[in-house]
Structure 1
């Protein structure tokens, strides 16, 4: 079996202990999420807390693709996190990734430093009376605008993939997670507006965010609002139609 274990130089002294936890991933650590596709566990090593994401083993064809044609999700997560930090976009610090190959990709892990966050973007959707909601939405819009200005197309820009830390009075930091689907490209107006579609925004949220994006981009509120609303509603309609078909 061929193995590839890449550790960030800042954590090279912990490489052996990190690898031990990967070897005993099933028994060790504390579950953060236990999904059908991916599993995330939390480990404490040398007084530091790390999140370890184990990706689902791909099928036979996909596993060969990941060995010979395409980077694994673990490797992409590590590399994209490093790129984001180069752009001064916050994401949990990329610590390491691990890949094991045997006639294809058999196992892959991504390790990042744990972030103690206060809430995620979903809270703003589910609770219209969330404290300081409009200000958080404005700052989140500015954060998304910075992504776009830096040519970062976060394809999974969805409610559960932004962690929010309250830094001070009316000041918030935003951390992107689940990074393996991302493109670094010029973001034209259409791509920028489409990038909001997965956030499952209400009409009130769209109005607040469109106002802020209009100011930042020097475009009219009407143009931003119309396009943001169009893409959001089209995506929501598509998802709801799929759910309805499954029920039938």
Structure 2
């Protein structure tokens, strides 16, 4: 089986671990997320790291990722390096590793240092912390900073935004970064990037006012656009849920 990988120079001594990462990952039990992809916290050479194992692509995508498109592991690693160069917080990338069988992509991994955090932005959106309004206000400012630096996170959802309380304010960090675009973003376009938060109208107003203040956008326009995109995303997601139930033969009335 052929292997491709890149790593930061300071982690060159971990090459034997990278070669054996498939076995190490399968034998480790500290899974922190398992869906299409799986994340585990693994200690390599006394350093706590997060290893993300990407789902083996279906046959057509195995061809696509092998010959025509960069893999999710590759993009995760290089997007992280680019974010850090822009002084945007994301877990420090260590390596990406790809294994090929018969010249086609099979297993792929992205490794980063474990980054401590207190909760995700979901806790603030669900009002599970008393300072949620301050968190959301600073989060809007953080998002504006991303946009001024030309960063568009395509999976900007609650579970992918980590929050750590600091002595002054909060530290935000983004994860699941294989789907990103780097381009110029206008303030009006920026309002759309809040659409996957599944936020309440009152929370959109908090974030909208701050985003408008920093960007120079009219406050009413910012709030209106954020609500419009938020509502559109909810409609699409709810439609998909209903469609899945129909396809499964579940015609029961919604709860």
TM-score scaled by length of structure 1: 0.94
Contact 1:145 1:213 in 2 (8 A): yes
Deviation of 1:5 (Å): 1.8
- The size of the alignment, in residue pairs, is 245
SS of 1:231 mapped into structure 2: helix
Which of 163, 168, 177 is the matching residue for 1:179? 177
CA distance in 1: counterparts of 2:232 and 2:85, whole angstroms: 34
Does 2:78 align with 1:69?
no
Which of 240, 243, 249 is the matching residue for 1:242? 240
The residue number in structure 2 matching 1:123 is 123
The residue number in structure 2 matching 1:20 is 20
Deviation of 1:241 (Å): 1.6
Deviation of 1:190 (Å): 4.2
SS of 1:42 mapped into structure 2: strand
Unaligned runs of at least 5 residues, structure 2? 247-255
The residue number in structure 2 matching 1:134 is 133
Contact 2:125 2:132 in 1 (8 A): no
The residue number in structure 1 matching 2:250 is none
Deviation of 1:110 (Å): 0.2
Deviation of 1:24 (Å): 2.7
CA distance in 2: counterparts of 1:74 and 1:214, whole angstroms: 35
Q: 1:179 to 1:4 in 2, by over 3 A?
A: same
Once the two structures are overlaid, the 10-residue window that deviates more, 21-30 or 149-158, is 21-30
Cα deviation digits, residues 135-193 of structure 1 (max 9, x gap) = 11111111100111011111100110011111124x11011000010011111244312
Contact 2:121 2:159 in 1 (8 A): yes
CA distance in 2: counterparts of 1:189 and 1:47, whole angstroms: 44
Cα deviation digits, residues 88-116 of structure 1 (max 9, x gap) = 00000000000112231111000000011
Cα deviation digits, residues 72-103 of structure 1 (max 9, x gap) = 00000000000000110000000000011223
The residue number in structure 2 matching 1:9 is 9
CA distance in 2: counterparts of 1:86 and 1:43, whole angstroms: 26
Cα deviation digits, residues 48-90 of structure 1 (max 9, x gap) = 1000000000011101110111000000000000000011000
Which of 207, 210, 214 is the matching residue for 1:209? 207
Deviation of 1:199 (Å): 1.0
CA distance in 1: counterparts of 2:157 and 2:128, whole angstroms: 20
SS of 1:5 mapped into structure 2: strand
CA distance in 1: counterparts of 2:58 and 2:69, whole angstroms: 14
SS of 1:195 mapped into structure 2: helix
Q: Root-mean-square deviation (CA), in Å? A: 1.4
CA distance in 2: counterparts of 1:11 and 1:19, whole angstroms: 13
Which of 212, 219, 222 is the matching residue for 2:220? 222
The residue number in structure 1 matching 2:52 is 53
Unaligned runs of at least 5 residues, structure 1? none
